[in-house]
Amino acid sequence: QQQVKQSPQSLIVQKGGISIINCAYENTAFDYFPWYQQFPGKGPALLIAIRPDVSEKKEGRFTISFNKSAKQFSLHIMDSQPGDSATYFCAASKSYSGSARQLTFGSGTQLTVLP
């Protein structure tokens, strides 16, 4: 079963705090793990992504931590800002030869950063 389980469903953080969203997957063939950010009324947009050959990737205030043995990965948002309030989706995909390589999405986390 190609599933990606995401938690928590919702998260409220104070401005300046750290937001942490977790995802777990089952299929060991997954080899690409992106995070998407979606604002109300907009489509999802790629935020940051990681491949399983590294344990961590950082871009500005956003960091992905990846634990291959546990089949888990997480998104950390440092110094969270009200503008970060959005829905975050983790996802995973596996490489095919000449095929769709479609993403399997987690259930989403609605983040609210209080001013």
The answer to whether the CB of 108 falls within 8 A of the CB of 88 is yes
Q: Is 115 helix (H, G, I), strand (E, B) or coil?
A: coil
DSSP 106: -
Q: Minimum CB separation from other proteins for residue 51, in Å?
A: 8
Rounded to the nearest whole angstrom, what is the least distance from the CB of residue 16 to other proteins in the complex?
A: 27
Strands 10-14 and 109-114: parallel
Question: C-alpha angle 86/90/94, rounded to 5°?
Answer: 150
We find the least distance from the C-beta atom of residue 99 to other proteins, in angstroms, to be 9
Helix (H, G, I), strand (E, B) or coil at 82: helix
Cα 54 to the center of its chain, rounded Å: 15
List binders of other proteins among 87-106 (CB under 8 A): 89, 93, 95, 100-103, 105-106
Distance of alpha carbon 51 from the chain centroid: 13
Q: Which is nearer to other proteins, 18 or 45 (CB)?
A: 45
Pick 44 or 63: Cβ nearer other proteins: 44
Window 30-59: residues binding other proteins (CB under 8 A) = 32, 34, 41-46, 49
107 touches other proteins by CB under 8 A: yes
Total site size for other proteins, rule CB under 8 A: 21
Q: Can you read off the two tokens belonging to residue 79?
A: 């110094």
Site of interaction with other proteins (CB under 8 A): 32, 34, 41-46, 49, 89, 93, 95, 100-103, 105-108, 110
